[in-house]
Amino acid sequence: MAAVIGIPHERHGEEIKACVVLAPGATLSEEELIAWCKEEMAGYKYPRLVEFFAALPTNATGKILKRELRDAGTSDAGTIA
Protein backbone atom coordinates (compact mmCIF):
# COMPACT_ATOMS: atom_id res chain seq x y z
CA MET A 1 0.00 0.00 0.00
CA ALA A 2 1.31 3.45 -0.79
CA ALA A 3 0.33 7.09 -0.88
CA VAL A 4 2.17 10.04 -2.36
CA ILE A 5 1.95 13.44 -0.72
CA GLY A 6 3.49 16.85 -1.19
CA ILE A 7 5.66 18.19 1.60
CA PRO A 8 7.02 21.75 1.92
CA HIS A 9 10.30 22.50 0.18
CA GLU A 10 12.16 25.79 0.50
CA ARG A 11 13.17 26.18 -3.14
CA HIS A 12 10.53 24.25 -5.07
CA GLY A 13 7.48 24.93 -2.90
CA GLU A 14 6.65 21.22 -2.61
CA GLU A 15 8.55 17.97 -2.79
CA ILE A 16 7.17 14.49 -3.50
CA LYS A 17 7.12 11.99 -0.65
CA ALA A 18 6.01 8.37 -0.86
CA CYS A 19 4.46 6.80 2.24
CA VAL A 20 4.73 3.03 1.87
CA VAL A 21 3.51 -0.07 3.73
CA LEU A 22 5.35 -3.22 2.69
CA ALA A 23 3.60 -6.55 2.33
CA PRO A 24 4.36 -9.01 5.14
CA GLY A 25 7.79 -10.55 4.59
CA ALA A 26 8.73 -8.09 1.82
CA THR A 27 11.96 -6.15 1.89
CA LEU A 28 12.69 -2.93 0.04
CA SER A 29 14.98 -0.01 0.75
CA GLU A 30 14.32 3.66 0.07
CA GLU A 31 17.13 3.64 -2.50
CA GLU A 32 15.67 0.66 -4.37
CA LEU A 33 12.20 2.22 -4.55
CA ILE A 34 13.52 5.59 -5.72
CA ALA A 35 15.74 3.92 -8.34
CA TRP A 36 12.77 1.93 -9.69
CA CYS A 37 10.59 5.05 -9.80
CA LYS A 38 13.31 6.98 -11.68
CA GLU A 39 13.34 4.27 -14.36
CA GLU A 40 9.55 4.06 -14.69
CA MET A 41 8.43 7.68 -14.23
CA ALA A 42 9.14 11.12 -15.63
CA GLY A 43 11.75 13.14 -13.75
CA TYR A 44 9.22 15.44 -12.13
CA LYS A 45 7.02 12.55 -10.90
CA TYR A 46 9.29 10.24 -8.90
CA PRO A 47 9.42 10.65 -5.10
CA ARG A 48 12.53 12.24 -3.60
CA LEU A 49 11.63 11.03 -0.12
CA VAL A 50 10.34 7.67 1.05
CA GLU A 51 9.04 6.74 4.49
CA PHE A 52 7.90 3.27 5.51
CA PHE A 53 4.89 2.83 7.80
CA ALA A 54 3.33 -0.10 9.65
CA ALA A 55 -0.10 1.13 8.41
CA LEU A 56 -1.52 4.15 6.64
CA PRO A 57 -4.54 6.03 8.02
CA THR A 58 -7.74 5.08 6.22
CA ASN A 59 -11.42 5.90 6.52
CA ALA A 60 -14.23 3.38 6.95
CA THR A 61 -14.26 2.55 3.23
CA GLY A 62 -10.49 2.02 3.06
CA LYS A 63 -9.54 5.30 1.36
CA ILE A 64 -6.12 6.59 2.44
CA LEU A 65 -6.39 9.82 4.42
CA LYS A 66 -3.58 11.87 2.89
CA ARG A 67 -4.46 14.91 4.96
CA GLU A 68 -3.67 12.95 8.12
CA LEU A 69 -0.31 11.94 6.66
CA ARG A 70 0.52 15.58 5.96
CA ASP A 71 -0.89 16.86 9.26
CA ALA A 72 0.81 14.19 11.36
CA GLY A 73 4.13 15.85 10.73
CA THR A 74 5.69 12.76 9.21
CA SER A 75 9.43 12.84 9.70
CA ASP A 76 11.79 13.72 6.90
CA ALA A 77 13.81 10.59 7.69
CA GLY A 78 13.26 9.31 4.16
CA THR A 79 15.94 9.38 1.51
CA ILE A 80 16.66 12.39 -0.67
CA ALA A 81 17.65 11.35 -4.19
pLDDT bin (cut points 50, 70, 90) of residue 70 is confident
> What CATH code is assigned to 2-71?
3.30.300.30
The predicted-structure confidence for 6-20, as pLDDT tens digits, reads as follows 988 888 888 999 999
pLDDT bin (cut points 50, 70, 90) of residue 81 is very low
The predicted-structure confidence for 11-68, as pLDDT tens digits, reads as follows 888 899 999 999 999 999 999 999 999 999 999 999 999 999 999 999 999 999 999 9
pLDDT at 75 over 80: no
What does residue 13 show for φ and ψ, rounded to 5 degrees? Answer: 95, -55
pTM of the model: 0.80
Q: Where are the alpha helices (DSSP H) in the chain?
A: 30-40, 66-71
- H-helix or E-strand containing 35? helix 30-40
Domain positions in the chain: 2-71
DSSP state of 72: T
